[in-house]
A and B are shown apart, each in its own frame.
Chain A
Amino acid sequence: MLRGREAEQSALRALIERAAAGDGAALVLRGQPGVGKSALLDDAVTAARDADEGTGVTVLRTRGVESEAPLPFAALHRLLRPVLERLDDIPAPQARALRAALGEEAEGAGDRRLVYLATLNLLSEVGGDRPVLGVVDDAHWLDDASAAALLFVARRLEGEAVAFMFAIRDDEAGAFDTPELTTITITGVAATAAGELIADQAAAPIAAHVLEELLEVTDGNPLGLIELSGALTPDQLTGHQRLPERLPLTERVERAFLDRYRKLDAAAQTVLLVVAADDSGHPAIVARAAAALGAPEEAFDTAEESGLLRVSTEGLMLRHPLVRSAIYGAATSSRRRQTHRALADAFAGTAHEDRRAWHLAASVDGPDPDVVAALDEAAQRSSRRGGHEAAAAAWARAAELTLDPHERAQRLLNAAGANLAAGRPLETDLLTRAALVDADDPLLRADLLQLQGQVEWNTRSLHDGYRIVCRAAATAAPHDPAHARILAMLASALASFGAHAVDTPSPSTIVTAPAPDATVEEQAADALLRGFTAVIDNDWASAATALRRAWDLPLPATAPGLIHANLAIATMHLGDDERAIRLHDLQLQHARDAGAVNMIEHALTRGVVFRIATGAWSEAFKAAQEALLLDRNLGLDELAAFPLAELAVISALRGDPAAPQHLRDLDAELERHPPHGATTGLVRGLAHWAAARQLDVTPATALHHLQQIDLPVARWLTALDRIETAVRAERRDLAEKWLDEIRCFAEGADMAWAWATVHHARAVLGHGDAEEHLTRALDWHATSPRLPARARTQLALGEHLRRHRRRTAARVPLREALDTFESLGAASWAERARQELRASGETARRGTNLVASDLTPQESQIAALVREGLSNKDVAARLFISPRTVDFHLRNVYTKLGITSRTELAALTGDLT
Chain B
Amino acid sequence: MMRNTPRAFVGTVMFRLEDPPDVGVCEAVERQVGDLPGVSFCDVDEAAGVLIVTAREPVERAEVLAVLDRLDCRVAQ
Contact = CB atoms under 8 A, between A and B. Distances in A.
Contact of A365 (B6, B16, B50): B6
Contacts of B8: 364-366, 400-401
Interface stretch (B19-27, B29-37, B52-60, B65-73): B52-60
Given A336-B6, A399-B11, A437 B54 contact: yes
A845 to B, nearest CB: 66
A282 to B, nearest CB: 17
A363 B8 CA distance: 10
Given A66-B2, A67-B2, A433 B11 contact: no
A532 interface: no
Nearest to A430: B14
A205 to B, nearest CB: 40
B16 to A, nearest CB: 6
B50 A402 contact: no
A362 B77 contact: no
Interface in A403-450: 403, 405, 408, 426, 430-431, 433-435, 437-438
A328 B77 contact: no
Contacts of B10: 366-367, 400-403, 408
A328 B2 contact: yes
Contacts of A47: none
Contact of A438 (B4, B7, B9, B11): B11
B1 interface: yes
Contact of A430 (B50, B54, B58): B50
A400 B6 contact: no
Which one of B14, B16, B52, B62 has the highest number of Cβ atoms from chain A below 10 Å of its Cβ? B14
A328 B3 CA distance: 10
A434 B1 contact: no
Contact of A362 (B1, B13, B16, B57): B1
A361 B61 CA distance: 13
A610 B64 CA distance: 55
A431 B11 CA distance: 12
A397 B12 CA distance: 12
Interface string A21-42: 0000000000000000000000
Contacts, number: 77
Contacts of B1: 66-67, 69-70, 358, 361-362
A337 interface: yes
Contacts of B62: 333
Contact of B5 (A174, A336, A400): A336
Contact of A366 (B2, B4, B16, B58): B58
A127 to B, nearest CB: 33
The SS class assigned to the A binding surface is helix
A834 interface: no
Nearest to A407: B11
Contacts of B5: 336, 340, 362
Contacts of A363: 6
A333 B12 contact: no
Indicate the member of B10, B50, B58, B60 with the most A CB atoms within 10 Å. B10
Nearest to A400: B9
A173 interface: yes
B6 A337 contact: yes
B11 A329 contact: no
Contacts of B60: 333, 365
A173 B77 contact: yes
A564 B77 CA distance: 38
Nearest to B45: A433
A398 to B, nearest CB: 11
B6 A362 contact: yes
A694 to B, nearest CB: 43
A67 B5 CA distance: 9
B12 A438 contact: yes
A426 B6 contact: no
Contacts of A426: 16
Contact of B7 (A66, A70, A362): A362
Contacts of A366: 8, 10, 57-58
A326 to B, nearest CB: 12
A401 B54 contact: no
A362 B5 CA distance: 6
A248 to B, nearest CB: 15
A434 B7 contact: no
B59 to A, nearest CB: 9
Interface string A693-726: 0000000000000000000000000000000000
A400 B4 contact: no
Contacts of B2: 66-67, 325, 328
Contact of A402 (B11, B13, B16, B54): B11
A328 B14 CA distance: 26
Contacts of B4: 328-329, 336
A174 B12 CA distance: 24
Contacts of B16: 426, 430
B34 to A, nearest CB: 15
A408 B11 contact: yes
Contacts of A174: 77
Contacts of A325: 2
Contacts of B57: 366
Contacts of A340: 5-6
A325 B3 CA distance: 9
Which residue among B1, B16, B50, B62 has the maximum number of chain A CB atoms within 10 Å of its CB?
Answer: B1
Contact of B11 (A70, A328, A405, A430): A405
Nearest to A276: B2
Contacts of A408: 10-11
Nearest to A363: B6
Interface in A321-336: 325, 328-329, 333, 336
A434 B6 contact: no
A337 B14 CA distance: 24
A400 B14 contact: no
A822 B52 CA distance: 64
Given A173-B77, A366-B58, A367-B58, A434 B13 contact: yes
Contacts of B11: 399-400, 402, 405, 408, 434, 437-438
Identify which of A325, A363, A437, A438 gathers the most chain B CB atoms within 10 Å of its CB. A437
Nearest to A364: B8
B40 to A, nearest CB: 11
A67 B8 CA distance: 17
Given A69-B1, A437-B54, A400 B13 contact: yes
B13 A333 contact: no
Interface string A528-565: 00000000000000000000000000000000000000
B47 to A, nearest CB: 12
Contacts of B14: 430-431, 433-434
B68 to A, nearest CB: 16
B55 to A, nearest CB: 9
A361 B5 CA distance: 10
B25 to A, nearest CB: 20
B61 to A, nearest CB: 8
Contact of B9 (A173, A328, A401): A401
A464 to B, nearest CB: 13
A409 B12 CA distance: 9
Nearest to A411: B11
A358 B2 CA distance: 11
Nearest to B61: A400
24 contacts: A67-B2, A336-B4, A336-B5, A336-B6, A340-B5, A358-B1, A362-B5, A363-B6, A365-B6, A365-B58, A366-B8, A366-B57, A367-B10, A367-B58, A400-B8, A400-B13, A401-B8, A401-B9, A402-B11, A405-B11, A430-B14, A434-B14, A435-B12, A438-B11
Given A362-B6, A363-B6, 16 more contacts: A69-B1, A173-B77, A328-B4, A333-B62, A337-B6, A362-B1, A362-B7, A365-B8, A367-B58, A400-B11, A400-B13, A401-B8, A402-B11, A426-B16, A437-B12, A438-B12
Closest 10 interchain pairs by CB?
A: A400-B9, A366-B58, A437-B12, A430-B14, A434-B12, A408-B11, A362-B5, A365-B8, A434-B14, A66-B2
